[in-house]
Amino acid sequence: MEKLHMFKKVISFVTSSALAVALISFYPSADGRNINNASAKTIAEMQEEIKANKETISELQNQLDALAGNKAEEQHYQSLLYDQIDVIQTNIDLLNKELENINTDIENAQNNIAGLDQSIIDQQKEIDTNVELFKQRLCAMYVTGNDNLATVVVGTSSFYDMMSRVEMVNRIASYDEELINGILADIDSMEESKKQLESEKLTLEMKLEEQQKRKEEKAQEMEVLYDKMQQTQAEIDRISREEQLTEEKKQELEAMNAEFDAEISAEIARQAAAAQAAYEAEQARLAAERAAAAAAAQQAAQSSGETYTPTYQQPAYIPAPSASGFAWPAPGFCYISSYYGPRWGSFHGGIDVGDAGIHGGAACAAKSGTVITVCNSCTHDYPKDGSCGCGGGYGNYVVISHDGTYSTVYGHLASAAVSVGQYVNQGDVIGYIGSTGWSTGAHLHFEVRVNGSRVDPLGYVSP
């Protein structure tokens, strides 16, 4: 009866502890902060939002990567445009130089033509002067009566004189004729040179016009390239703005997640403290009840003259850590009902501790560490022939991480007494042994994992 009485008390404590933890998890805080506080969101809601934010952050990072690729493409295209502009500008510079040379040649031709025009005018003046002199001589000859060769002959005193006069007249006429003919030949030559210069000038002007057209075409090409350059720069600027906005949105979500993480850590610590306080209060209450019951039993025995022998035993000792630093996880219970290795056509990844009367016994941390997983939702705390589907077959269970390399698992608990993020010392009660999950009877399933791989726990602990 005493054992049954103690079992009922343990079940009462477990139930009250579970209710206390549940109320702590879901009861709103009095703090009035906004969405980043657990008063507005539960831990589960914040974790879901963190998960959603991380997915959004991943999508935003993909967008940033795509934008960076697009920006690099635009910058590469802009570099090609710069190269084309440089080539066209070089061509324009060459055309400007050629146009400058053509204009110089045209100017020289114009100057030469003007010089020839002046020379022709000067030669024409000389012809006019000589013709005028010739007219004057003829007039003089006419005035003196020497208007023909007969008069020249008649007026001579001798044949020699006559011949001299005739020769002189002929020489004067021949000289005038040669002079005029020479001048006319020079004029003809200059006119021919002028025609050649004018032809050259016309050719140069045509070439100038052609080069001007080429320059205009290059200028138009340059305008098109500059337009493309402006469009490309506008696209680069747009991508940069979009990158900035996306990065800001990403940073906002990361900051929000950081706030959520801080709130979750604070809430877990608060819940753990509350659960510990509830546990200690319940333990004190149970201790007081046990003391009162023992005192009453002792008084009754003394009244009847019997010798009082206490029937209540304190919880079993916590074994000292092994050489590996791990301690036995089920103090007071030493029977191993199933070992590590092949079992029932599958592989059993831990050991099962299943002494009589183990239901409701304390499951203790085999080593100090941080609680990383807690499942406390299974209500099927009774023997069964198959899995109830809770906790992946483990039912209610706890996972503790030790220094990052080792971790331990405690399965089939009636209930867990710790929360995720809570630090526990070696020997601290982390839950109470039950028969939740796929369990044929009350026992503690205990695993040791090294870097996530299950190993034989008996290499680390012993009863």
Which position has the token pair 């029937």? Answer: 311
CA distances to 140, 327, 416 from 370, in Å? 146, 16, 14
Mean pLDDT of 419-433: 94
Beta strands in 68-218 (DSSP E): none
Residue 326 near residue 366, CB atoms below 8 Å? yes
Mean pLDDT of 414-422: 94
| Of residues 217 and 306, more confidently modeled | 217
What integer pLDDT is reported at residue 35 of this predicted model? Answer: 37
Confidence of residue 36 (pLDDT cuts 50, 70, 90): very low
Q: Which residues pair with 352 in a beta bridge?
A: 338, 445
Give 111-129 pLDDT, tens digit per residue: 887 887 787 787 777 777 7
Q: CB 263: neighbour CB atoms within 10 A?
A: 22
Tell me the residue type at 356: A
Question: Which pLDDT score is estimated for 95?
Answer: 83
The pLDDT tens digits of the residues spanning 293-316 come to 667 766 776 676 655 444 433 333
pTM of the model: 0.41
The helices-and-strands tally (H runs, E runs) of the chain is 4, 12
Which of 289, 331, 309, 291 has the alpha carbon at shortest distance from 426?
A: 331
The whole-number pLDDT of residue 363 equals 95
In the predicted model, is pLDDT for residue 29 greater than 50?
A: no
Q: In 3D, which of 228, 216, 212 has the Cα closest to residue 85?
A: 228
- Closest Cα to residue 10, out of 398, 326, 315, 367? 315
Cβ-in-10-Å burial (0-12, 13-18, 19+) of 254 comes to middle
Which tops the pLDDT comparison, 21 or 381?
381
Q: What share of the chain is helix, strand, coil (3-state, %, to 5)?
A: 60, 10, 25
pLDDT tens readout for residues 53-69: 999 999 999 999 999 99
Checking if the pLDDT of 52 tops 70, the result is: yes
Is the pLDDT at 148 greater than 70, yes or no? no
Domain range 319-459, CATH class: mainly beta
pLDDT tier at 162, thresholds 50, 70, 90: low
